[in-house]
Structure 1
Amino acid sequence: MLDNKTLNITIIILNWNGWKDTVECLESLYQIDYPHYNVIIVDNNSSNDSIKQIKEYCEGKSKLKSDFFEYNPTNKPLHILEITKTKSETVKIIDEFSNLPSNRKLILIKNDKNYGFAEGNNIGIKYALDNLNQRYILLLNNDTVVDQYFLNELIKAGDSCDNIGILGPTVYCYNDKTKIQSAGVKLYPKLGYQKFLGLNEIDNGQFKEITSVDYVQGCALLAKCEIFNEIGLLDTDYFLYWEETDWCFRAKNAGYHVVHVPNAKIWHKGSASSTNNDIIYYGTRNMFWFMKKNARKTHYIIFLVQFFSLRLWLQIGMYLIYYKTGLKGIYSFFNGIMNGLDT
């Protein structure tokens, strides 16, 4: 068990109307075998009773059940530092709160609108950098459940090499505990194509070594704090999707390694191939934005040629026949293309 107080980390979880997922994620976090961490929930102006439900969980009133853990009542109630986005820019943490055990406290930042994934996380990151003493920041999706030792494995890998800047765990499917969703991601820059390594494979030990990858999923991304100071925060223009790809790309260009740590494990409810119309739109639009921003000119031309000559038609067929999105999905796809080209 690690016990060095210099290894503090801050965990940032974004919530938008997803309190059921969030409290399950929180409960798994508060049972990890890591001694020094802070948890920040950033609520993106939820329109339901998420704030109320999260508070009731902290008070010990929500004795949730999960296939991944047994509910632990002994660390309840949790002490909550509740602030608005505006106050998050000025409110400081008092020593009394800072000195509480890691599993007895929660920082809750309430946004005044839905800022999306990138800016929502940036609000939490800014607060952490200004107010908390940490070496690492972890971005964690609210629809995840974590293994008891996942942070130990990530930190151990991060501390093994100064050039390692960003790390990600093995991400498993929530509903099939041994099926891999991602063991890091490979990016094909000439195609604007992302390959989720290990996608839908059963874990038979095929990923054994810490491996360099192009990026790791934003559902669980651990970064050393100096990277934020060097390359900046997530690009808010993306709003949703491709922002972690862009950020890892910038980190690699700055000389940092991005790695997958196989022994660090989490389970993720979200699918790597969702068909929601907003996901289709933002995924398509932001692919074009990423390529225009980051690809070499020749690579961008190759991307456009292959996309409009082949990939366009393949994706239309996939949306209509395989995913059965109907015309709304096709509209989202073309709208994403047009807005992606127009910027």
Structure 2
Amino acid sequence: MKKIVFVILHYQTIKDTEECINSILQNINYGNFEIVIVDNFSTDGSGQVLKDKYNNLSNMHVILNNENLGFAKGNNIGFRFAKYELKAEFIIMINNDTLIKQKDFIDILIGKYKVSKYGVLGPDVISLIDNGHQNPIKKGGLTYNYVCGKIKKFKILYILNKFFMDLLFRRIYSILKKNSDNDFLCNYELEQEDITLHGSCLIFSPKYISKYDGLFDNTFMYWEESILYYIASRDKIKLLYTPNLKIYHKEDSATNTVLKNSRNKNRFFYKNSIDSLSRLKELMED
């Protein structure tokens, strides 16, 4: 049987992480999988709680980071452990605020690989807030001009946030600009290639694992999906979306827990979006 490893990045929200783990243990009907939990330097002691609870189980591994590495770097700790220590053939990088309810989840992703030889596979991601479908994000990737425009926009919003004016700017901007980011969303009912996949669940096949040690990690948070699309397109790695796989997403639980103030959360998003998109811009210019 193929070795399958789930990688779950944990930060603070232990209830979500435990529910995610339980959804895997209770629903996945497959005989050769393991789970790697990476605690991204939680300050509430929840990482050690997880280690004490799960680390003595043969198919569970808990890694405690000594600093908060952000999304990509934090996940890559688990990715590399799965690749080099556990010899994973497929790595499922899944958010801790998600749930899996399909018993044949692994059988489907292996079957899809046999047929399509995808590099990265994305499931239908269903929001538990509004039942919306979050995958696939976009047909194709971002253009260079779009990235440059977004960087400028986020710089303006970051400055306006200091004066409590960013939300007004965003409302005016959305009225004046008819083609909103929401127009990117594709038909979730169709299986399709050449799309930007939602980062809450990314399934990496042997084709990807053999070439990379995880995600591009010169960022802290946000826009990882667009960077992944650019690198996959550049290196001719197939990205595939399938509605035959489904996960359920609570959305931003860790960020919401730490940044309860919406103004602070927006400033955090603007700042890290500027950084991540600047890294993507640099990749495009190389």
TM-score w.r.t. the length of structure 1 is: 0.63
Describe how 1:125-204 pairs up with structure 2 within 5 A.
125-148=79-102, 149-162=104-117, 164-176=118-130, 178-186=131-139, 187-189=141-143, 190-192=145-147
Cα 1:256–1:235 shift into 2, 3 Å: closer
Q: State the shift of 1:259 in Å.
A: 0.9
Percent identical pairs in the alignment equals 28
Residue matched to 2:275: 285
Residue matched to 2:44: 48
Identify the match of residue 23 of structure 2 among 24, 28, 37: 28
Cα 1:278–1:80 shift into 2, 3 Å: farther
Q: State the shift of 1:196 in Å.
A: 6.2
Residue matched to 2:9: 14
Identify the match of residue 220 of structure 1 among 180, 201, 210: 201
Unaligned runs of 5+ in 1: 59-77, 82-96, 98-104, 297-343
CA RMSD of aligned residues (A): 2.7
Work out whether 1:245 is the aligned partner of 2:235: no
Larger C-alpha radius of gyration, 1 or 2? 1
Which amino acid in 1 is paired with 2:37?
I
Residue matched to 1:80: 56
Which amino acid in 1 is paired with 2:108?
E
Cα 1:173–1:110 shift into 2, 3 Å: same
Work out whether 1:210 is the aligned partner of 2:191: yes
Contact 2:125 2:249 in 1 (8 A): yes
Residue matched to 2:171: none
For residue 278 of structure 1, give the secondary structure of its aligned residue in structure 2: helix
1:104-147 Cα deviation digits (max 9, x unpaired): x3100111111111111111111111111321111100011112
Which amino acid in 2 is paired with 1:159?
K
Q: State the shift of 1:231 in Å.
A: 4.3
Task: Provide the C-alpha distance between the structure 2 equivalents of 1:138 and 1:191, rounded to a whole number of angstroms.
Answer: 30
1:180-216 Cα deviation digits (max 9, x unpaired): 12234332314137956785x9xxxx64432013321
Contact 2:136 2:196 in 1 (8 A): no
Which amino acid in 1 is paired with 2:198?
Q
Cα 1:250–1:188 shift into 2, 3 Å: closer
Task: Provide the C-alpha distance between the structure 1 equivalents of 2:182 and 2:33, rounded to a whole number of angstroms.
Answer: 29
For residue 292 of structure 1, give the secondary structure of its aligned residue in structure 2: helix
Residue matched to 2:75: 121
Cα 1:19–1:191 shift into 2, 3 Å: same
Q: Relative contact order, CA 8 A, sep 6+: which one is greater?
A: 2
Contact 2:122 2:135 in 1 (8 A): no
Cα 1:134–1:30 shift into 2, 3 Å: same
Contact 1:15 1:22 in 2 (8 A): yes
Task: Provide the C-alpha distance between the structure 1 equivalents of 2:138 and 2:19, rounded to a whole number of angstroms.
Answer: 26
Q: For this pair of structures, how many residues does the alignment match?
A: 240
Contact 2:135 2:188 in 1 (8 A): no
1:72-101 Cα deviation digits (max 9, x unpaired): xxxxxx5636xxxxxxxxxxxxxxx4xxxx
Contact 1:154 1:168 in 2 (8 A): no
For residue 180 of structure 1, give the secondary structure of its aligned residue in structure 2: coil
